[in-house]
């Protein structure tokens, strides 16, 4: 029996496992012929892009209903190391250590928010990087809503004016109201860049600035965080902001386990993979999602988003089985790119192309954002094998509907 191991149950990992099971059935192989095993530290698939929202009831999907119907085994383990020379994975489980051999591997361990060595960051800052972290933030806000007001009680500082930080900040007015935090509420976005959305582009930036201003969100730009404590945050400018809620959203980096493999990596630590999702010069290893970078249109590398992680996973799953049995593999090519940024009560921003031309704003863009976040990126929840396999086909979805700006 051959064994395919998928590490990670995020957008890439889940779809790699389902895609591999689909291909296994397509070639007429059984679970006794090819074992497919998914390993993750959690027993659920996190709809990670919704972690900034207040309602987290639908963002952690248990794995058994998704994987049991298609014959994919799964285990809750922490991945400690990968030895590509021996084709072995070192795991830590609730029962101790385990060494797992593989014939083929799909690395899909994703990314994590970068946490620099800033005094007080680890002890006092929140984030929305994981489901557990998002729950911790929500519990904190609810607790504040029940407590007696004190300095910084109603102030939230979001560090990072990129995609995640903007969404967290724009959602915060509604979240504070929902949590019962009254009084003079302040939301402040801090970033070392001279403008918000520096990586999102010049076309989108005026829309973002308008939305933040309408939501009464302050900014502190061109400054760095010097220290954080229980009372607030000190900036490199010398300003101290009293705040009982600091949310860290300042950049992402690929799983450190990517360094276990030889070959090239980009500035974010991502493994460079070819259009078949193979890691160069490493036999039997594929990678997908935030831990991998692939040039998908002949010019642009993928970015860390579910928009790319999901098709990368589907193609990796298809190809890892094809490679195992000596069948032709399929290259991934994506000729379109969109950005849909949630701007809270103001609406949203919808752009097209790598230069991010604005196509819709406000309520129209918000409708598209909700369609993506609440339906498009979800796996079928019926438990039916045919629906799961149909969703895992190695194809690229058409872009969401576009609207005129306004």
pLDDT at 401: 73
Q: How far apart, in whole angstroms, are the C-alpha atoms of residue 194 and residue 213?
A: 16
User: C-alpha angle 9/15/17, rounded to 5°?
Assistant: 75
State the fold for domain 115-250.
FAD/NAD(P)-binding domain (3.50.50)
CA terminus-to-terminus distance, the chain: 58
pLDDT at 341: 97
pLDDT at 405: 45
Closest CA to 120 of 85, 145, 157: 157
Task: Give domain 2-112+253-337's CATH number out of 3.40.50.2000, 3.50.50.100, 2.60.40.1730, 3.30.390.10.
Answer: 3.50.50.100
**Each residue of 193-204: pLDDT tens digit?**
999 998 898 999
pLDDT at 281: 86
Closest CA to 79 of 255, 252, 306, 271: 255
pLDDT at 346: 98
Q: How far apart, in whole angstroms, are the C-alpha atoms of residue 317 and residue 207?
A: 39
User: C-alpha angle 188/190/194, rounded to 5°?
Assistant: 125
Domain map of the chain by residue range? 2-112+253-337, 115-250
Rg (C-alpha) for the chain, rounded Å, is 22
- At residue 386, φ and ψ (nearest 5 deg) are -65, -35
Cβ atoms of 263 and 173 within 8 Å: the answer is: no
Kindly give the parts of the chain with pLDDT less than 70: 402-406
Show the tokens assigned to 219.
Answer: 């900014």
Same fold, 2-112+253-337 and 115-250: yes
């Amino acid at each position: 029996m051959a064994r395919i191991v998928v590490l990670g149950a995020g957008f890439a990992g889940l779809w790699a496992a389902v895609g591999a099971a689909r291909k296994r059935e397509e070639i007429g192989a059984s679970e006794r012929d090819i074992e497919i095993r998914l390993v993750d530290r959690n027993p659920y698939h996190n709809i990670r892009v919704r972690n900034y929202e207040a309602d987290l009831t639908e963002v952690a999907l248990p794995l058994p209903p998704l994987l049991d119907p298609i014959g994919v085994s799964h285990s809750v383990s922490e991945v400690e190391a990968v030895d590509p020379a021996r084709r072995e994975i070192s795991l830590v489980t609730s029962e101790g250590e385990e060494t797992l051999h593989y014939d083929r591997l799909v690395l899909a361990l994703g990314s994590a928010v970068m946490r620099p060595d800033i005094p007080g960051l680890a002890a006092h800052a929140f984030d929305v990087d994981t489901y557990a972290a998002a729950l911790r933030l929500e519990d904190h806000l609810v607790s504040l809503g029940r407590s007696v007001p004190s300095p910084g009680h109603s102030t939230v500082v979001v560090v990072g004016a990129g995609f995640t930080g903007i969404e967290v900040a724009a959602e915060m007015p509604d979240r504070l109201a929902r949590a019962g935090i009254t009084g003079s509420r302040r939301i402040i976005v801090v970033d070392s860049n001279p403008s918000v959305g520096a990586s999102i582009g010049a076309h989108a930036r005026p829309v973002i600035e308008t939305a933040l201003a309408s939501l009464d969100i302050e900014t502190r730009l061109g400054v760095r965080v010097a220290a954080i404590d229980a009372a607030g945050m000190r900036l490199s400018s010398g300003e101290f902001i009293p705040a009982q809620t600091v949310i860290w959203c300042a950049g992402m980096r690929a799983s450190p386990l990517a360094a276990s493999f030889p070959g090239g990596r980009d500035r974010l630590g991502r493994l460079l993979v070819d259009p078949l999702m193979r890691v160069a010069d490493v036999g039997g290893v594929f990678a997908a999602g935030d831990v991998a970078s692939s040039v998908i249109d002949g010019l642009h590398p993928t970015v860390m988003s579910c928009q790319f992680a999901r098709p990368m996973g589907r193609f990796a799953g298809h190809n890892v089985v094809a490679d195992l049995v000596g069948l032709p593999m399929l290259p991934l090519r994506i000729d379109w790119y969109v950005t849909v940024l949630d701007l809270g009560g103001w609406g949203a921003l919808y752009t097209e192309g790598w230069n991010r031309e604005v196509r819709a704003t406000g309520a129209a863009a918000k409708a598209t954002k909700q369609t993506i976040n609440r339906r498009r990126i979800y796996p079928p929840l019926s438990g039916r094998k045919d629906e799961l396999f149909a969703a895992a086909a190695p194809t690229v979805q058409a872009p969401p509907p576009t609207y005129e700006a306004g």
